[in-house]
Structure formats: structure tokens, C-alpha cells
Structure 1
Amino acid sequence: MNPKNELSVQDVADILKVSKSKIYSMIKNEELQSYRVGRKVRFSENDIKNYIQNSKKGSCAHEQETGSSLQKDDFVLCGQDIMLDILSNYMRQRGVSALRAYIGSYDSLIALYRKQVNVAFAHLWDSDTDTYNVAYVRRLLPGIPAVIVHLTCRMQGFYIAKGNPKEISDWNDFSRDDITMVNREKGAGSRVLLDENLRLSGISSKDVAGYNHEIQSHLTVASIVASGKADVAIGTEKIAKQVEGIEFIPIKKEQYDLVFRREDADQYGVQTLLNIIQAQSFQEEFSQIGGYDTKNMGKIIAEL
């Protein structure tokens, strides 16, 4: 195996957005495959891909099953931003059994439609209206009254190598013979943004080198670009600031919103969530972190 493809416990914790202790617990419970090099625990990229794929098919974080209906006392938040991990911790402190499901935006809305999660988080761009999320909620939750509440705005853009040696500047560069990308998984908001812009630019995915190389993490795709294994990837500005060796080209300011069924609006879990994100202290916590625009956090975007 190429040593560059070996992942440490910290690498996997960053990818899955959990603590190192959680990773060791997953190894002990045989939820996650690993191997040892001397005393050090290591993972292959396939180990992580298999875990993520199995999670999408069956189990979510904290043993919530995406293929089954919600358990009575569970309250599942479905999305991939680290803000949701912190939000779920706040909810547990207030007596809500808040669980996490690390699933992309498109599949999150489908899980909400199937009553497999309580709240879905999404950043899906609709090219026809140049708006986020509302059009997708209408399509993916047909006949279901829903509420969309704004969480934050983030900047999406290109991860490129330091100094931009390939002089990448726009979507048309993705079809160049000397450019290789690394992609996000189907259903991720970043993937939808890419696919829509390739379509609008008249570029076939068959003409984009690396298009089928799919990864389920902003951090990992940024790291792949930093290592020189790809020339470009799509992701958020916040992650770009955490990875050495890359630069960020801003492309689109996106909305990251939460969605729940209107029939659940009076649920204790939903009310607790809304109270937390509407609190000034929570908003100030993220406004100081950087990479998050909390100006309209907690504002109702639409009631469908």
C-alpha cells in the first residue's frame, strides 16, 4: 500500500467529524476496520469508504438507522457541517436525545420525506431561480407541508494548489486536458453546484478527468488537492483555511438551511433546536469562528 494513502486516527476523526475517542470506540466495537503498524493504528481509504457507504445504507451515527422509521425518543439531525455536531451537543444538554446522521443534502431531504430523520440540513442550488433549497424541498417532499429555517451562509469555491500553477479561474477549466478534479459524492450540495454549472457551461462529465473520484468530505478533497493528487475540488472556504498548501477561489455564496415537517413544529426537539440557534450566544459563537455568516440565523425562509 502506498503510505500516502494511509490514514491516522486523527485523519479519520476529521473526516467523520467525531472525536478520536469515538474512533477508538468504533474500532473496539468492530464498527470500523483498521490495521496496525507497530503500535500505531492506521486505516486505508477503502476502510473509510466502506464505513461511510454502510452508514448510508444502514446505520447513522449513534446507531440511528436510516433505513427504518424513527425510534420514539430519538431526534435525528441529518447533515454534514461541524456546526450540527455542536448544535446536537447543546440539544443533549437540554434533554433532547439528539443523534447525528452524516448524509448529504439531497439524501437528507429524502430521509426527511421517509420520516427517517427529524430535521434535514441542505445547501442545494437551483439554477433556474438562482436560489437555495426551496425548489428542492418542493420536489423531494411532495404533498408534505414543511418549514425551512435559515442556519448560515457559507462561501463555496475551488480548492487549488498554492500559487494556482494551473491558472484555474472558472468552470470551463474543468474540461481542460491538463486538469484533474476530485469530486464529492452524489447528493452533496457541492456536487449539485458542480453538476449544474457544468450543465450550464455545456460541459459533459465524461470530459472532466477525475469526475468519478468521489469523496464524502470537504476536508479530504482539500487534502487531496494539497497533496498534488488532483488540481481542483469544490468545497467551503472554512475548510480551505484549515489545510496547508491550497488556495481558495470564491465562486458562490450559499445558504445552509434546516428543514422539518410542519406537523412537527411544536415538538420539544424542534422548539429546543430553534431556541438554540435563535439565541445570541450561539450566533456569536459561530460568528467568531469564521467562515459562517450568522446574520439571519433562525429566520424562517419559507413555509410550504
Structure 2
Amino acid sequence: MSHDISYTTEEIAQLLKISKLTVYDLIKKGDLPAFRVGKQMRVDAADLEAYKLKTKSTPRNAEKPGSDKPGSAAADHAASPSPVNGPRPIVITGQDVSLDILAKHMEKHIAGIRPLRAYVGSLDSLISMYRGESDIVSTHLLDGDSGQYNLPYIRKLLIGSSYLVVNLLRRRAGIYVRQGNPHGIVNWCDLKRPGLRIANRERGSGARVLLDEQLRLCGIRPHQLNGYETEESNHIAVAGKVASGEADVGVGIEKAAAIVGRVEFIPMIQEQYDLVFLRKPENQEWIDAVLKILRSSAFQNELSAISGYDLSLTGQVLFEA
């Protein structure tokens, strides 16, 4: 029966032919009720059908010009920042496990909110914040010309917004090679050697931006790398391709190499993994609470148990727009 069926956010996106971030936005606004199973959000089939019936029954002219005047139904809906019958969803984007730990601490210590996780890359995360689809975004994007992480991209994408940039952690990124490093890779420019096969990340991910910037600085054209157009969705998948012999090199973080094994990691850069918050009056209370969590010994002790994290700047405000 339909009440025994529930869907993941990915399945909802496919059924409604919308993006996954739009699904999170519907959940965030309270238009689509959802519940958590472990780290995953799910929507009951009955709630999905109710949402579809509601949108079908909404008159086409319900939001015609002038309908958002004070006292109208549209204005009343817009004035309500969150559902009155439940906690406010807070969408957190990014793929690192530290964000799952942060979400767990937020759920435990901050009343009136419900953390939701969206597993998307750094560039897509910033774009989602610009569109109003996320509340906390993580980013680790290198600007090759300045050698600076994140701020050059944030300034360009969040034009006109008031925001706060806070460090979550730092971690080593570099190149995965097969055991024994048979091709003798020691720096970025060695990637121009003929015949190398690369396991690449998806566009918009921090690792992809890191690779593209280093290729540019070394004067290497992407099409010179075999496998450049083949994309993997996470660091572990890239390291796995190298470990299995399907690729000779890949770019990612140290932790994934330790998890996969049978692959060597050549550290190349200490990357900065930051969080971005939009500064709005209605956000300030929970932002202050998140900063308190980031600086707490309980949170940092849990992160310190994971190898490869540098927490020396965790919770430090790096920039205020």
C-alpha cells in the first residue's frame, strides 16, 4: 500500500523531474514533509501524492501580479519563514564526513532546527546558496593565480550578499599513484607525460578545480590526459580506480588513499575546507549556535579521531562580507 512506501530525495527528484536541491528547497519550505532515516531524508508516498494534488489544485492565477500585496494568501505564505508544525530545516551541502558529524551535533544541541544534508561539490554548493537553496555550504576551491582558497570564488558568486566564512578544517590534497609510483610522479607538471591515464572528478568539485588550476599553471591541455572526460563522484572512487589499475593517477585527499589502500598518496597542497553562512537577521541565532559547536571540545575531539584533519583554525571566522 502507498502508506508503506517512501522515497529518497534522489527518487523524488527523478519522479518530479526537478533537481535534488529543489527537492531540499521544498522540504526546507515545508511544502514537502520528510523524515530522516540515518543520514538520509525520505518522503512518504502519501505526502508526495498530497503535494502533487495540492499543486494541481492551485489556480494558475493564484500568484498573478498584485497577489503578493499585504493580506493576500501569497504574502502570508512568503512571510512564514518555516513550517509552523515542525523544526526549521537547515540544508548543509558538501561531501566530507565532517559535515555529517556537524549535522549530528546541530541536531542534538540546537532546538528548532532540522539539519538536512545535500551531497554536492563546492562550486554547486555556492551556486545553491546564491539561489537560496542552502543554508550552510562547504567549499575548498583553489584560485591558482593567488594561491588562495575559497574567497575569490565566494566573492564572485555571492555578489550583493552578506555572508560569513568560517574554517571547518584543513587537510592534505595531492595525487594518487599506483603502488611503487611506476611513472615517477613527483609534481603537477609530471602529469603531461604521454600515456598517463587519469581518474577525474566531476565538474564543480574542489578536486576538479584543483586539477584544472594546476594543469593551467603547468601549461597542460586537459585533452592531453587520457580519461579526463570520465568523471567519478567522490575521492574514494578516484583512489579506487588507481588502486585497481584502471588509472595511473588521480587527484584527491589523503584520507581516501588510507581508506582504499593499495594506492600511494603524494601530498601536494594543504587545502582549506571552509563553511559559508548567509547573514540574515533570522539566521543569526542558529549561526551563533553552530559557531559554538565548531569551537567546542566535543566536536573537535570527534574530528581529531579522523586522520588527516588539521583543526588549528576550526571555528575561526576568516571573512565577513
TM-score by length of 2: 0.74
Q: Quote the offset at 1:60 in angstroms.
A: 5.0
Q: Quote the offset at 1:189 in angstroms.
A: 0.6
Counterpart secondary structure, 1:156:
strand
Q: Which has more radius of gyration? A: 2
- Matched with 2:96 is 81
Q: Quote the offset at 1:161 in angstroms.
A: 0.9
Cα distance change, pair 142–278 in 1 and its aligned pair in 2 (3 A) = same
Which among 188, 193, 200 is matched to residue 176 of structure 1? 193
Counterpart secondary structure, 2:260:
coil
Q: Quote the offset at 1:267 in angstroms.
A: 3.3
Aligned residues: 257
1:195-227 per-position Cα deviation (integer Å, ceiling 9, x unaligned): 011011111111111100101111111111111
Which among 20, 25, 45 is matched to residue 59 of structure 1? 20
Q: Quote the offset at 1:298 in angstroms.
A: 0.4
Cα distance change, pair 233–195 in 1 and its aligned pair in 2 (3 A) = same
User: CA separation in 2, counterparts of 1:65 and 1:102?
Assistant: 14
Indicate the RMSD between aligned Cα atoms, in angstroms.
Answer: 2.5
Moved more, 278-287 or 223-232: 278-287
Q: Quote the offset at 1:130 in angstroms.
A: 0.9
Cα distance change, pair 166–264 in 1 and its aligned pair in 2 (3 A) = farther
Which among 283, 286, 296 is matched to residue 269 of structure 1? 286
Structure 2 unmatched runs, 5+: 31-81, 83-87
Q: Quote the offset at 1:295 in angstroms.
A: 0.7
Structure 1 unmatched runs, 5+: 1-27, 33-49
- Judge conservation of contact 1:112–1:118 (CA < 8 Å) in 2: yes
User: CA separation in 1, counterparts of 2:316 and 2:296?
Assistant: 12
Identity %: 40
Counterpart secondary structure, 1:182:
strand
Cα distance change, pair 288–79 in 1 and its aligned pair in 2 (3 A) = same
TM-score by length of 1: 0.78
- Matched with 1:40 is none
Counterpart secondary structure, 1:295:
coil
